[in-house]
Chains A and B, each alone.
Chain A
Amino acid sequence: MAVLRNQQTRQRDLLNVPVVGRFLRWKHARTSMQAVLLAVSALILYDGFWGPQLAPKNLAGVLPWVHWRGFVVLALLIAGNLFCMACPFMLPRRLAKKLFPADRPWPTFIRSKWLAIGVLLVFFWAYEAFDLWASPWLTAWVALTYFVAAFAIDGIFKGAAFCKYVCPIGQFHFVHSMVSPLEVKVRQPDICGSCPTKDCIKGRYGPVAEPSLRHSGTSRNPDERDKPRQAQVSHLLRHSRESSPRAGARNPSSDEQRPQAGMREVTKSPSQPARSVAMPAGLQLVQSGCELWLFQEGKVGNMDCTFCLDCIQACPFDNVGIQLRAPTSEFRRLDQWHSGVGTLVKRADVAALVFVLVFAAFVNAFGMVAPVYVLEQWLATQLGVTSEPVVLGILFIVGLVALPFVLVTAAAWSSRALVGGNETLAATATRFSFAFIPIALGMWLAHYGFHFLIGALTVIPVMQSFLADFGVPILGDPQWELAAIVPEAWLVPLELLLLELGVLVSLTAGYRIARSRQSSAARAIRCLLPWAVLIVALFFTGAWLMTQPMEMRGTILG
């Protein structure tokens, strides 16, 4: 049985997929992806600052707002947090880690998502208030601020403080990747149970200047190289079989496809992966452990995981994979303690983050249809305000804070009234917040997918004109008429399909969450009812938004 289970786990592991797996195991896989995106960012910065200040003609207008947003939401749907994996802001950050001590602990009072929620709210507001999409120059400034912030914060603080506590893009990805089909996860828990190194969290230390023994590609004799590791894995498995009745009955080394070599004899250092720990003389960190403080043995789900693959590189037993899973499987584990995250149902800050993102999916799309202009005009007249940022500020506070708060409190209260129980309203709301992630992802996909599908090809003429400015004309005059990659008639049906998928998965997830606490299906349905009403209401709101003709306008108040 265990053999079967293990085999299945291995088969559904992205690292075992022929070309992709090989690439992802490569030590420099992540750096190479980051380098590509860094080069693209450099183009965006250059064109944003110095190029034509007309968004459709500027790489800073096209690449971030049409392509990047489309790609990342699609990646979340079909794979996982691929943006963080290839994040270009990580390269300067790594440099900062090399240059500065980076040894301060992140202040305790902001070790939560609250700061990031604040940054997100400001970003969503600024996006509309200053029409970031219409200004390549401001877009370039936002990107530059990002680079500087990641550089400065991670130059001062330990680990990946920026990713975990500040970065709004990161939070967007952490939350929505909770319903992604891939998860970085241990393959055989038994091996972790008796693992002596815990390198996945602690990092791997090695002699200074000694080339890494790992990463097969370069060695000529894999069999020789694998011997120490195989011996160690066999030993561990034997040990765990003796101590645990449900331990794996198979020695994985026998069917290893791409074994990793090089067990290191490293003096064990304290459990923190930080660079500041005193390390034995002559040893240095050769591979970081998880800088987001997710210890594989207790890691559950995708929250806070940047898919950086450090744990995969660090684990001496090749015991971490990128595994396929059911998109709602995380919702069964909400009460479980998550390493580096805690127990999700106790994280009100995470729930607040989820709800802000859920409502932002709708408010962001609402910002692009005609009714919002009517509403803004009305609000401005009522309040006698002429400043658009102020009116938008009010709309955002209402749409992303007040309205969610009222609706969620009402749903939590009704849910409790329907089934009783002594859970606090906040705990109930936190528990059910996660059920809203699929509908939010559906909405982001519908909206950003729309921009991508109608505008994907616009990058061709923009690139042509960018190169022509440098005296390198390619394929003649820019082909400005290139734009959509699907016929316009497909758009609304496709968007509705994505939303429908979202609402179905949300309702399923909601039922799972309800059922886990209720003794019968009937009670679970009653408990879910108010939440289901809210989810379905969001669905109809989204569907209505999608059928509105989209508008693209910056100035609203006359």
Chain B
Amino acid sequence: MNFARTTCVIFIAILGALVLSACGPRAEQGGNLDVTVLSISPEPAAVGDAVITLQVRDIAGNPVSDATILVKGTMTHAGMQPVIVGTEARGAGKYVTEGFRFTMGGDWVIIVRATFANGATAERRIDLKGVQGEIKMGMKSDKPKDGN
């Protein structure tokens, strides 16, 4: 009974701690990087090859042109192989992805990872919802009109 009581106290303490600290999900770390998606072609985003053009700035708002930028596309559902590609710098903080491909319809998350000349890194996450899939066999091939 003693053992049981001790375990119970521990269990309830853990529960309490969880409940107290779990009032909201942890905020994403933005990093000292400001990334904007300038365009995705084709537009609206759909399954298949795509080119994403990014504008990268530091927190002071200055374009970052000498960083190595990696773009990782993943989905909101676990268990998908992410798409990881490099980018080509186009000057004035503009980068264009090379060989990016939306492999599935649905909600994508684009993670931009910058490695600066001094070796420091920063990451930024951009949500990209409703990449359009295809409908096969029998259904109208109209794509859903919700490219949000």
Binding site for B on A (CB under 8 A): 45, 49-58, 61-62, 65-66, 92, 95, 98-99, 131, 133-137, 140-141, 144, 147-148, 151, 369-371, 373-374, 377, 451-452, 454-456, 458, 462, 480-484, 544, 547-558
Nearest chain-B residue to A452 (Cβ)?
Answer: B79
Chain A residues with CB below 8 A from B76, complex form: 54-56, 131, 133-134, 552-554
Distance A231 CA – B145 CA, assembled complex (angstroms): 78
Can you list 20 A-B contacts with CB-CB less than 8 angstroms, sorted by A residue number?
A50-B26, A52-B26, A58-B78, A62-B78, A95-B11, A99-B4, A133-B76, A133-B77, A135-B25, A458-B79, A480-B82, A481-B82, A484-B81, A548-B136, A551-B106, A552-B80, A552-B107, A555-B146, A556-B130, A558-B148
Distance A538 CA – B7 CA, assembled complex (angstroms): 49
Nearest chain-B residue to A100 (Cβ)?
Answer: B8
The residue that A140 contacts in the complex, of B22, B72, B146, with Cβ under 8 A, is B22
Chain A residues with CB below 8 A from B81, complex form: 454-455, 458, 481-484
Chain B residues with CB below 8 A from A558, complex form: 130, 145-148
> B146 and A373: CB pair below 8 A?
yes
> B139 and A374: CB pair below 8 A?
yes
Chain A residues with CB below 8 A from B75, complex form: 56, 552
> B142 and A374: CB pair below 8 A?
yes
> A95 and B8: CB pair below 8 A?
yes
- A-B residue pairs, 8 tightest by C-beta: A455-B79, A483-B81, A553-B106, A552-B77, A558-B146, A66-B79, A551-B105, A552-B106
- B interface, size bucket: 35 or more
Chain A nearest CB, measured from B138 CB (Å): 8
> A370 and B15: CB pair below 8 A?
no
> A370 and B105: CB pair below 8 A?
yes
A552 in contact with B18 given A50-B26, A92-B11, A133-B78 (CB within 8 Å):
no
- Of B28, B74, B76, B84, most A-chain CB atoms within 10 Å: B76
Chain A residues with CB below 8 A from B138, complex form: 544
Binding site for A on B (CB under 8 A): 1, 4-5, 7-8, 11, 15, 18-19, 21-22, 24-26, 28, 47, 72, 74-82, 84, 104-107, 109, 125, 129-130, 132-140, 142, 144-148
Chain A residues with CB below 8 A from B18, complex form: 45, 49, 144
Number of A-B contacts (CB under 8 A): 168
Nearest chain-A residue to B29 (Cβ)?
Answer: A52
Distance A240 CA – B47 CA, assembled complex (angstroms): 70
The residue that A51 contacts in the complex, of B15, B26, B79, with Cβ under 8 A, is B26
> A553 and B145: CB pair below 8 A?
no
Chain B nearest CB, measured from A540 CB (Å): 11
Nearest chain-A residue to B75 (Cβ)?
Answer: A552
> A549 and B104: CB pair below 8 A?
yes
> A98 and B146: CB pair below 8 A?
no
Chain B residues with CB below 8 A from A369, complex form: 133, 135
Chain A residues with CB below 8 A from B80, complex form: 56, 454-455, 458, 483, 552
Distance A140 CA – B18 CA, assembled complex (angstroms): 10
Chain B residues with CB below 8 A from A462, complex form: 78
Chain A residues with CB below 8 A from B139, complex form: 370-371, 374
> B22 and A377: CB pair below 8 A?
no
A99 in contact with B104 given A56-B75, A140-B22, A558-B148 (CB within 8 Å):
no
Distance A50 CA – B28 CA, assembled complex (angstroms): 11
Distance A466 CA – B147 CA, assembled complex (angstroms): 33
> A549 and B146: CB pair below 8 A?
no
Distance A370 CA – B22 CA, assembled complex (angstroms): 34
> B135 and A371: CB pair below 8 A?
yes
> A451 and B11: CB pair below 8 A?
no
- Supply 6 further A-B pairs (C-beta < 8 A) apart from A49-B22, A480-B72, A551-B133: A52-B28, A54-B125, A373-B146, A374-B142, A552-B104, A553-B130
Chain A residues with CB below 8 A from B136, complex form: 547-549
Distance A558 CA – B124 CA, assembled complex (angstroms): 25
Distance A62 CA – B8 CA, assembled complex (angstroms): 29
Nearest chain-A residue to B82 (Cβ)?
Answer: A480
Distance A146 CA – B146 CA, assembled complex (angstroms): 35
> A548 and B135: CB pair below 8 A?
yes
Chain B residues with CB below 8 A from A370, complex form: 105, 132-135, 139, 144
The residue that B77 contacts in the complex, of A134, A480, A484, A544, with Cβ under 8 A, is A134
> B4 and A53: CB pair below 8 A?
no
The residue that A53 contacts in the complex, of B26, B133, B137, with Cβ under 8 A, is B26
Chain A residues with CB below 8 A from B25, complex form: 49, 53, 135-137
> B82 and A134: CB pair below 8 A?
no
Nearest chain-A residue to B5 (Cβ)?
Answer: A99
> A54 and B74: CB pair below 8 A?
yes
A98 in contact with B22 given A480-B84, A544-B137 (CB within 8 Å):
no
Chain B residues with CB below 8 A from A98, complex form: 1, 4
> B144 and A377: CB pair below 8 A?
yes
Chain B nearest CB, measured from A153 CB (Å): 15
